[in-house]
Amino acid sequence: MCHTLLQDPKLYALLSLIDHEHAAEVRAAGCGCGGVLHSARYPRKPRGGPPELRQTYNSRLSFCCAQCRRRHTPMSVRYLGRRVYLATVVVLACAMLTGITGRRALQLSATLNVPLRTLERWRHWWMVDFVKTPFWRSVCARFMPPVALATMPAGLLSRFTANDLASRLTQSLRFLAPLSTLTEAA
């Protein structure tokens, strides 16, 4: 199920639409100095997902103020901060790692074409670094009972109420979108 979801072009089209909505909001708000925001996309080389995405996912939506030159990068559901793998891959791969054997982890690594060391690094990030972020510390109390840290991000995914995995993933990526900007991820 997860493998087919990671190859679903409809999911990636929806995520792209959500990112464009976030970008439209940022552009409409303008810059704090009163200047106009112009498109200033920057290149990305996304890994994971279907190969046909490389053309549409090869840049991150961003803006630059015409007056003060300040960059304004909207939140994203396609990217999780500066990671080169798509957010869908980072979330689902780590969710699938929860409670599996080393042999199954190797199979997952081969299936997703993500090195095992990378999967282990992501898993560590979810269980140790993510829970220390100001973002998580400010929102973790929304979940009662608390999300078990040992089950991250699977435990987080399970808290969203949509009927199917694609919708729960989309809800969780919207929830995690503040982590896609440097100011929120610190």
The per-residue pLDDT for range 3-53, each reduced to its tens digit, is: 678 888 899 999 999 999 999 999 999 999 999 999 999 888 888 878 888
pLDDT at 81 over 50: yes
Q: Which of the pair, 54 or 145, is modelled with greater confidence?
A: 145
DSSP state at residue 146: P
Could you write out the DSSP letters of every residue in 46-105?
A: -BSS-GGGGTTTSEE--EEETTT--EE----SSB-TT-SBBHHHHHHHHHHHTT--HHHH
Domain map of the chain by residue range? 2-179
**What is the distance between the alpha carbons of residues 69 and 71, in angstroms, rounded to a whole number?**
6
DSSP state at residue 37: E
pLDDT in tens, 102-145: 888 888 888 888 899 999 999 999 999 999 999 999 999 999 99
pLDDT at 183 over 70: no
Contact in structure between 53 and 12 (CB atoms under 8 Å): yes
